[in-house]
């Protein structure tokens, strides 16, 4: 009977479960996969919400489907990874139940509050020193504060010990175990703007500032540890690892050494540079310092560039602009023209993330002429994905002094060959695409495997294709045009 592990990835738009063979010499081998999307809710302009019951229904469906596979008869462990920053008010008396919609990481309802906090003397530095983060609606702290001020009776229930404010990992663990104890790990905690990343504890001064008692937050334990027993379809499976999705992808890509760089091309774009045991700070340049997973599942530091619109640009061109029949068509359509014909798309649909952090910026298509067509716009969309990354890669080089000659990629949009070549050309970097693009689920399963002693974290990545930069591409010219376009739509 083959021993297997499950990597459960609860992302922004859907839940994926991957079954991995846990035996053999080639590391974890994916052998089955299940996926379900769940709805996105936009009740007001700038508001993005998730319903816990819809996330959990998708979770139950993918796990039920996966466990029905004949090869899943001997599952020895489960690892969880999740969208970060999204926050729920969870009921302590009813495991897996939330007291209202979750506020999603893309939500901008606290933009005005964050603006005021940034203008408060010394507070931005306090936040950066303690959490490694910038003050932005992206993170969880102002979302919790908003809930406490706007959800009737929630503050009173929190004071009565009835509420835990948890990220999606806490929601899943509570639901799967049926326990009234709530857990999270350092990588997820480090994205709340309430966690002291050097001391590894909830920051009492920051919690007090946002009106949050630390007892209202989950217990933090190592990413690679025992988080209880999931009870699924009458089976008991230990949860042995938890990490935020981008940190899980870093581990799944095998990027565990100082100087390793990865980019996940998902809904957004997330670049993480492993800085090892050394904390690197570059908040003044719009980068974040965060906790990640290093060798043997231990904690390490990373620099992160967080961009809100990546693959979602392609979804917008398909669903809203109507120039694509399906997402995969973006490659062939964009490849039908040699360049964008002077068209630039700045995808600030939910504001700008790194390095600008401008929540009020709005998207624009610039440089249109009578000769512009949908192919030029599609090309501009792919170039926008790559150019956003270029700015951050250049900042990583500038801030760390690391040359950065290569980058590992994962996520759905990484399957687009044209996009990967554009990325290599504009960043002047070799792009390594692995055989398995499910790096996030692989990272979660790897945590469980490390806990069980099944694999080490130091392993070779199987590369499916490498894209090398074309030195003839006019990189500086395109980057200059891009920066001028961004300047046109910025509000800060």
Assess if residue 290 is contained within a domain: no
Question: Is 213 inside a domain boundary?
Answer: yes
Question: Is residue 412 situated within a structural domain?
Answer: no
Residue corresponding to tokens 């909830």? 202
The answer to whether 346 and 485 are in contact (CB under 8 A) is: yes
Q: What is the pLDDT of residue 208?
A: 96
Instruction: Tell me the percentage of the chain whose pLDDT exceeds 90.
Output: 65
Domains: count for the chain: 1
In angstroms, the CA 401 to CA 159 distance is 48
Would you state the structure tokens that stand for residue 379, as one six-digit string? 């090309």
Q: In 10 A of CB 453, how many CB atoms?
A: 7
Q: Is 90 among the domain residues?
A: yes
Phi, psi at residue 252, to the nearest 5°? Answer: -60, -30
Which residue has tokens 């979804």?
315
Q: Are 158 and 99 in contact (CB under 8 A)?
A: no
Q: In angstroms, rounded to a whole number, what is the distance separating the alpha carbons of residues 74 and 418?
A: 41
Q: Are 89 and 170 in contact (CB under 8 A)?
A: no
- For 87-132, the pLDDT digits (tens) are 999 999 888 899 999 999 889 899 999 999 999 999 999 999 999 9
Q: Is 277 among the domain residues?
A: no
165 and 212 Cβ atoms separated by less than 8 Å = yes
Interatomic CA distance for residues 443 and 9, integer angstroms: 10
Rounded Cα distance between 99 and 53, Å, is 11
pLDDT, position 253: 86
Using the 8-state DSSP alphabet, how is residue 473 labeled?
S
pLDDT, tens only, 293-337: 987 888 899 999 989 899 889 989 999 989 888 888 899 999 999
For residue 12, what pLDDT is reported? 87
Other CB atoms within a 10 A radius of the CB of residue 92 amount to 18
The CA–CA distances, whole Å, from 199 to 43, 217, 471 equal: 38, 16, 45
- Cα 408 from chain centroid? 15
* Ranges assigned E (strand) in 51-144: 75-82, 87-91, 102-103
Q: Is residue 184 part of a domain?
A: yes
* Residue-level length of the chain: 492
d(CA 319, CA 140): 29
The 10s digit of each residue's pLDDT in 104-114 is: 988 989 999 99
User: What confidence score (pLDDT) does residue 25 get?
Assistant: 47
Q: List all residues 6 or more positions away from 425 whose beta carbon is below 8 Å from its beta carbon.
A: 469, 470, 473, 475
Taking the C-alpha atoms of residue 483 and residue 471, their distance in angstroms, rounded to an integer, is 21
Cis peptide before 355 (omega within 30 of 0): yes
Question: Residue 276 has what pLDDT?
Answer: 87
Give the CATH number, domain containing residue 30.
3.30.420.40
**What is the distance between the alpha carbons of residues 163 and 140, in angstroms, rounded to a whole number?**
16
From 34-43, 128-137, 283-292, the region with the lowest mean pLDDT: 283-292
**Does 202 map to a domain?**
yes
pLDDT tier at 471, thresholds 50, 70, 90: confident
Q: What rounded mean pLDDT belongs to the chain? A: 91
Residue span of the structural domain in which 102 resides: 4-243
Where does 401-453 have alpha helices with state H? 417-427, 439-452
Answer whether residue 350 shows pLDDT above 50: yes
Q: What is the DSSP letter of 101?
A: P
Place of tokens 């090398």: 468
Rounded-to-integer distance, Cα 27 and Cα 449, Å:
9
> Would you say residue 321 lies in a domain?
no
Q: What is the pLDDT of residue 24?
A: 56
Query: Nearest Cα to 11, choosing from 245, 347, 353, 231?
Result: 245
Q: Residue 456 has what pLDDT?
A: 58
Digit-coded pLDDT (tens) for 43-85 = 998 899 999 999 999 999 999 999 999 898 999 999 999 999 9
Q: Tell me, what's the pLDDT at 464?
A: 86
Residue 169 burial by Cβ neighbours in a 10 Å radius (0-12, 13-18, 19+): buried
Contact assessment for residue 346 and residue 486, using Cβ atoms and an 8 Å cutoff: yes
> Above pLDDT 70, what percent of the chain?
97
What is the C-alpha to C-alpha distance for residues 403 and 415, in angstroms, rounded to an integer? 26
Chain segment 376-421, per-residue pLDDT in tens? 999 999 999 999 999 999 988 888 888 888 999 988 889 999 999 9
pLDDT at 257: 84
pLDDT digits 0-9 by tens, 240-286: 999 999 999 899 888 888 888 999 898 889 899 998 888 888 766 78
Q: What is the pLDDT of residues 194-250, one digit of tens each?
A: 999 999 999 999 999 999 999 999 999 999 999 999 999 889 999 999 999 999 989
Provide the 8-state DSSP code for 41: B
- Both structure tokens of 258: 């100082």
- pLDDT tens-digit series, residues 428-468: 999 999 887 778 899 999 999 999 887 655 556 678 899 99
Q: Please check the confidence at residue 6 and state whether its pLDDT lies above 80.
A: yes
């Amino acid at each position: 009977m083959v021993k297997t592990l499950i990597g459960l990835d609860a992302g922004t738009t859907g839940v994926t479960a991957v079954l991995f063979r846990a035996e053999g010499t080639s590391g974890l081998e994916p052998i089955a996969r299940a996926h379900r999307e769940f709805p996105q809710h936009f009740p007001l302009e700038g508001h993005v919400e998730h319903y816990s019951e819809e996330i959990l229904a998708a979770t139950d469906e993918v796990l039920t489907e996966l466990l029905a596979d004949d090869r899943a008869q001997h599952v020895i462990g489960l690892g969880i990874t999740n969208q970060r920053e999204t926050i729920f008010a969870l009921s302590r008396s009813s495991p897996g139940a939330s007291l209202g919609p979750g506020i999603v990481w893309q939500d901008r309802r606290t933009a005005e509050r964050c603006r005021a906090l940034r203008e408060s003397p010394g507070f931005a530095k306090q936040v950066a020193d303690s959490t490694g983060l910038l003050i932005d609606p992206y993170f969880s702290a102002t979302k919790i504060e908003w809930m406490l001020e706007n959800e009737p009776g929630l503050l009173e229930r929190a004071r009565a010990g009835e509420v835990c404010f948890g990220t999606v990992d806490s929601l899943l663990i509570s639901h799967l175990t049926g326990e009234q104890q709530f857990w999270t790990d350092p990588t997820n905690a480090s994205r709340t703007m309430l966690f002291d990343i050097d001391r590894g504890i909830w920051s009492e001064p920051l919690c007090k500032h946002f009106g949050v008692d630390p007892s209202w937050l989950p217990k933090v334990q190592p990413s690679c540890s025992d988080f209880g027993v999931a009870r699924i379809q009458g089976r008991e499976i230990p949860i042995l690892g938890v990490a935020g999705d981008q940190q899980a992808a870093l581990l799944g890509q095998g990027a565990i050494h100082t100087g390793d760089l990865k980019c996940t091309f998902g809904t957004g774009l997330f670049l993480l540079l492993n800085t090892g045991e050394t904390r690197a700070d570059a908040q003044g340049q719009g980068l974040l310092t965060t906790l990640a997973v290093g060798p043997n599942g231990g904690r390490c530091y990373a620099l992160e560039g967080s961009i809100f619109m990546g693959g979602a640009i392609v979804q917008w061109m398909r669903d809203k602009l109507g120039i694509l029949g399906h997402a995969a068509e973006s490659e062939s359509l964009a490849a039908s023209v040699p360049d964008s014909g002077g068209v630039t798309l700045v995808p600030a649909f939910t504001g700008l993330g790194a390095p600008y952090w401008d929540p009020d910026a709005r998207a624009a298509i610039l440089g249109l002429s009578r000769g512009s067509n949908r192919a030029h716009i599609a090309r501009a969309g792919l170039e926008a994905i790559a150019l956003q990354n270029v700015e951050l890669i250049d900042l990583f080089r500038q801030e760390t002094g690391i040359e950065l000659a290569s980058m590992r990629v994962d996520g759905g949009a990484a399957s687009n060959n044209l996009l990967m070549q554009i990325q290599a050309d504009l960043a002047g970097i070799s792009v390594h695409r692995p055989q398995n693009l499910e790096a996030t689920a692989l990272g979660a399963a790897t945590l469980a495997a490390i806990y069980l002693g099944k694999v080490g974290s130091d392993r070779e990545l199987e590369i499916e294709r490498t894209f090398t930069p074309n030195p003839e591409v006019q990189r500086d010219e395109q980057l200059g045009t891009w920066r001028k376009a961004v300047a046109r739509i910025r509000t800060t």
